[in-house]
Structure 1
Amino acid sequence: MRNKIFLYLFLFTALICLYMVVSNSNMQKAKDSKIDRLEDTITGFKDSLQNAQLKVLDMQYFSLENNDDALAYYDHLELKDPSRYISDKLLETNESKGDNPLIPYEGMENDFKLNKIKILNHKWILADFSDGKYWGEILIKYELKDDLGVDFTLIDHLLYTRSN
């Protein structure tokens, strides 16, 4: 009788060990597949990040901040951020009552005011304007003088038409 108890105990222990080995093997396979999926996701994120960085560099190509040749025109003025200074001066034109004087259109809903400004180089600015409902863009030539005055001259403009 004692031998049968030991035999049953041995079989029960063997079954538990077999269950643990199979269970552990399945868990290891599941974890390995999860790790592989996460590695693929990380690779995808790295590619997306690299593409985003390339797009940002491409968008910054026409920008005063990244154009050393254009910035050299302002070395003698001791401006920390010429781009910011010029943008501020251009935005000051919005403070006049009525439409912005650089915009050759009359506002239909409200007054036309400048919204976004992109300083392309040491001579040109591209700006977006709107009255809240209608919008357009203007190309401006500017000159930053030695006394830090800025002259703006409208080169071209367009007003988008609404299609219903």
Structure 2
Amino acid sequence: MKKNIFLYLFVFVALILLYSLVNGNKIQNENESDILKLQNKIEALEDSVQQEKLHILDIQYFSLENNDDALAYYEHLNLENPTRYIEDKLLETNENKGDNPLIPYEGMDSDFKINKIKVMNHRWIVADFSDGQYWGDLVIKYELKDDMSVDFTLLDHLLYTRSN
């Protein structure tokens, strides 16, 4: 009888070990599969991040901050951020009562004011304007003088028509 108990105990332990081995292999295979899936996702995300970086570089291509040749025009003025200075000067034109003097349209719902500004280089600006309901774009030529004043000249403009 004692012999049978040890035999049953040995078989029972062997079954437990066999179950643990099979289950462990199954868990290991699932983990390896999950790791491969995650590595593929990481590679896809890295590719996506790289594409976004290239897209951002394309967007920033026409900007004063990334144009060393254009920034060289302002070295003698000791401006820390020429783009911000020029944007602030252009936004000051919004402070006039009524429509912005650079916008060749009369506001329909309220006064036309400049909203968004993109300083392209040391000479040109693209700006967006709106009266709250109607909007358009401007191309502005500017000159930053040695006395820190800025002259703005409207080169072209566009008012979008409202489509219902």
Q: TM-score, normalised by structure 2?
A: 0.98
Deviation of 1:136 after TM superposition, in Å, equals 0.4
Deviation of 1:101 after TM superposition, in Å, equals 0.7
Percent identity (aligned): 66
Structure 1 residues without counterparts, runs of 5 or longer = none
Matches within 5 A, 1:1-164: 1-164=1-164
**Aligned pairs, number:** 164
What letter corresponds to residue 31 of structure 1 in structure 2?
A: N
Deviation of 1:160 after TM superposition, in Å, equals 0.7
What letter corresponds to residue 114 of structure 1 in structure 2?
A: I
Superposed CA deviations along residues 60-90 of structure 1, whole A, max 9, x for unmatched, are: 1111111111111111111111111000000
- Cα distance in 2 between the residues matched to 1:95 and 1:40: 54
SS in structure 2 of the partner of residue 125 of structure 1: strand
Superposed CA deviations along residues 109-146 of structure 1, whole A, max 9, x for unmatched, are: 11111111000111100000111111100000000011
- Cα distance in 1 between the residues matched to 2:3 and 2:109: 100
SS in structure 2 of the partner of residue 114 of structure 1: strand
- Cα distance in 1 between the residues matched to 2:110 and 2:40: 52
- Cα distance in 1 between the residues matched to 2:43 and 2:13: 45
What letter corresponds to residue 37 of structure 2 in structure 1?
A: R
CA RMSD in angstroms, aligned pairs only: 0.7
Compare 107-116 and 150-159 and name the one that shifted more: 107-116
Structure 2 residues without counterparts, runs of 5 or longer = none
What letter corresponds to residue 136 of structure 2 in structure 1?
A: G
What letter corresponds to residue 39 of structure 2 in structure 1?
A: E
